[in-house]
Structure 1
Amino acid sequence: MLERVSVYTPAEVVEETGFSLDTLRYYEKIGLLDNIERNAAGQRRFSAENVGWLGMIRCLRDTGMPIAEMLRFTELTRAGEHTIPDRIQLLEEHDRRVQGQIENLSERQEYIHRKISYYRSVL
């Protein structure tokens, strides 16, 4: 985990978040990531807030949220606290989809366990 400093290099952010440099550039281009400062040489410098936001994006991405929904969540967040009910609704809908995926995987896992048991029984 990155120690608390005011500015992070792209390499440090890649290390912390697991996103590639290309992904970071893409997220900045489409608006998932904003307020990226640049030094005098034009190199990106990320704030602790940027790194924290990328943690949220990582969670949403890893749980299968489409980019369009991540963009919607981002827009709502930037719009202010009055959008909190909409953010809750968006996250609850996503959570239901994630729960469905977990249940589906659990069923598949049970099938695999039964197959393993069967194969062990024929040995």
Structure 2
Amino acid sequence: MRYYEREGLIGPIQRSLGGRREYTEDDVFWIGLITCFREAGLGIADLRSFVAILRADHSAQDRVTFLRERRAALEQRAAALARAMEVLDDKIAYYS
């Protein structure tokens, strides 16, 4: 969390009098979004770009374009992984 805060992706996070972090619903939303995007393979630079698009006065079309471009990249990765799995399946069948 501190890393994402330093990178400007979330925060600044409010703290209690005792110094504990107190997350708002908005913070939880951003953390969930970041987690989802990271699991999808987006890097920190991609996250920064998307956060900038969301926080700035960009149109919905700009957001859709960004997301479609990232989705296309994920589709390419998925296809490459599927081909690699086929090769592994062939080798497993060969050696079985």
Q: How high is the TM-score relative to the length of structure 2?
A: 0.90
Counterpart of 1:57, as a letter, is I
Task: Tell me the number of residue pairs that the alignment of Structure 1 and Structure 2 aligns.
Answer: 96
Counterpart of 2:66, as a letter, is L
1:75 is paired with a residue whose SS is helix
Mean alpha-carbon deviation: is it higher for 99-108 or for 57-66?
A: 57-66
- Name structure 1 gaps, 5 residues minimum: 1-23
2:6 alignment partner in structure 1:
29
Take 1:35 and 1:83, find their aligned partners in 2: how far apart are those partners?
25
1:15 alignment partner in structure 2:
none
Q: Which 4+ runs in 1 deviate beyond 6 A?
A: none
Match of 2:61 among 73, 76, 85: 85
Q: CA deviation at 1:106?
A: 0.4
Q: How high is the TM-score relative to the length of structure 1?
A: 0.71
Alignment of 1:45-60 (within 5 A): 45-60=22-37
Q: Does 2:66 align with 1:67?
A: no
Residue by residue over 1:24-82, the C-alpha shift from the partner in whole angstroms, topping out at 9 and shown as x without a partner, is 001111110024211112321001221121111111111221211101111111124x4
- Name structure 2 gaps, 5 residues minimum: none
Take 1:83 and 1:41, find their aligned partners in 2: how far apart are those partners?
41
> CA RMSD, aligned part only?
1.4
2:72 alignment partner in structure 1:
96
Take 2:59 and 2:5, find their aligned partners in 1: how far apart are those partners?
22
Alignment of 1:100-115 (within 5 A): 100-115=76-91
Counterpart of 1:117, as a letter, is A
